[in-house]
């Protein structure tokens, strides 16, 4: 009686994305990192709820209870779980709110970078010739700019803000996506199915976005997952240098910038925002690695049997 079910399972059609999903589900690193990211997103969404449950706001200065009589920030206790900062603000609530900025900057700038990179990469690879030469040179130039120094130059003129940060991060990230997409498009446009589409009268745009794009999505998704943690670190770095989101809006970067002056008296300035930042980037990088392995299961593993 067991035979038919086995046969039924064997012929069950499983698309490539389904296979990737199955592999990810069996990979403990992928499951743990995905759950961590879900938790981080929930914390970001629920930040106002958490704040009202605790009864503190991110920028209120609790000078009477949050600072010692000598004006020294208090360490973690029952009222302030992560202690207070030099102005008597609740570090826990600020870390919770910082989640929002980090995720927002990381995801939005990565999405922008992917959109621009995909369009430019497709155009360069598909049209070839002069278009390719010009677009490829532009990508080369962007990739060889010392981005942090340039971010400083841009911010010095435009003034620091979240929008500028996101723009700067996207500007320095799209070119690597573009390069990947261009390479894939170059080989895909010579395939027979593209030729078939063309002989059926499909226009350039249709071929680029309907025929070729779905087939370059896998590497793009892998790369995008790895782009997000990079963008989160970039935003935190800009905030840390005072070039990102302007205080008093809490970000992990500007909290860690405050802590430079205070780590001797208040280790919690460094430890809590630092841990939040590190856990977030680790989770995204771990997930990115897992997705990459799930998309290319043979890459690098078991090629060499000694």
Partner 1 sequence: MIRLLARRLAFALLVMWVVATGVFALYFVAPNNVARTIAGRQATEQTVELVRRRLGLDQPIPVQYVRFLGRLARGDLGYSFVNSQPVSEVIRRDLPVTASLALGAAIIWLAIGIGAGSLAATRPGSAADRVVTGASLFFYSMPTFLLGQIFLLLLFYRLTVAGYPIFPPSGYVPLTEDPAQWARHLILPWLTLALVTAATYARLTRGAMLDVLGEDYIRTARAKGISEGRITYRHALRSAIAPVITQFGIDVGILLGGAVVTEQVFGLPGLGREAVQAITTEDLPVIMGIALLASLFVVVASIVVDLCYALVDPRVRVR
Binding site for partner 1 (CB under 8 A): 137, 140-141, 144-150, 152-159, 229, 233, 236-237, 240-243, 253, 256-257, 259-260, 263-264, 267, 270, 274, 277-278, 281-282, 284-286, 289, 300-304
Of 49 and 282, CB closest to partner 1 = 282
CB of 125 to partner 1, least distance (A): 20
Of 57 and 285, CB closest to partner 1 = 285
Nearby residues of 72 by Cβ (< 8 Å), 6 or more positions away: 265, 266
CB of 112 to partner 1, least distance (A): 20
Give the integer Cα–Cα distance in Å for 165 and 234. 9
CB of 190 to partner 1, least distance (A): 21
Of 58 and 288, CB closest to partner 1 = 288
CB of 293 to partner 1, least distance (A): 12
Of 106 and 207, CB closest to partner 1 = 106
Nearby residues of 255 by Cβ (< 8 Å), 6 or more positions away: 85, 91, 94, 95, 98, 269, 273
What residues form DSSP beta bridges with 90?
84
CB of 70 to partner 1, least distance (A): 19
Of 54 and 279, CB closest to partner 1 = 279
CB distance 99 to 47 below 8 Å: yes
Of 125 and 253, CB closest to partner 1 = 253
CB of 232 to partner 1, least distance (A): 9
Give the integer Cα–Cα distance in Å for 163 and 238. 12
Give the integer Cα–Cα distance in Å for 282 and 288. 10
| Beta strands, E only, 244-285 | none
CB distance 210 to 156 below 8 Å: no
CB distance 89 to 247 below 8 Å: no
């Amino acid at each position: 009686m067991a035979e038919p079910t086995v046969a039924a399972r064997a012929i069950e059609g499983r698309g490539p994305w389904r296979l990737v999903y199955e592999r990810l589900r069996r990979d403990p690193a992928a499951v743990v990192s995905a759950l961590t990211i879900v938790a981080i997103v929930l914390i970001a969404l629920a930040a106002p709820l958490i704040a009202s449950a605790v009864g503190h706001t991110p920028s209120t200065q609790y000078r009477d209870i949050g600072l010692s009589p000598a004006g020294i920030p208090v360490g973690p206790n029952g009222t302030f779980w992560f202690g207070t900062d030099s102005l008597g603000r609740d570090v826990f609530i600020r870390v919770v709110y910082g989640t929002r900025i980090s995720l927002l900057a990381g995801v939005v700038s990565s999405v922008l970078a992917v959109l621009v990179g995909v369009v430019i990469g497709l155009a360069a690879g598909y049209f070839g010739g002069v278009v390719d030469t010009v677009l490829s040179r532009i990508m080369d130039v962007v990739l060889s700019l010392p981005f942090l120094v340039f971010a400083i130059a841009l911010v010095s003129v435009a003034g620091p803000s979240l929008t500028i940060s996101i723009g700067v991060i996207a500007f320095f990230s799209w070119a690597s996506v573009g390069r990947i997409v261009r390479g894939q498009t170059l080989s895909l446009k010579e395939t027979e199915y593209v030729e078939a589409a063309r002989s059926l009268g499909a226009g350039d745009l249709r071929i680029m976005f309907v025929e070729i794009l779905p087939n370059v999505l896998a590497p793009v998704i892998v790369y995008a997952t790895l782009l997000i943690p990079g963008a989160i670190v970039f935003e935190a770095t800009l905030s840390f240098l005072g070039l990102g989101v302007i205080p008093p809006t809490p970000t992990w970067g500007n909290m860690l910038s405050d802590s430079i002056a205070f780590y001797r008296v208040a280790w919690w300035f460094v430890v809590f925002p630092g841990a939040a930042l590190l856990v977030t980037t680790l989770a995204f990088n771990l997930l990115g690695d897992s997705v990459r392995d799930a998309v290319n299961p043979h890459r690098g593993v078991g090629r060499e049997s000694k």
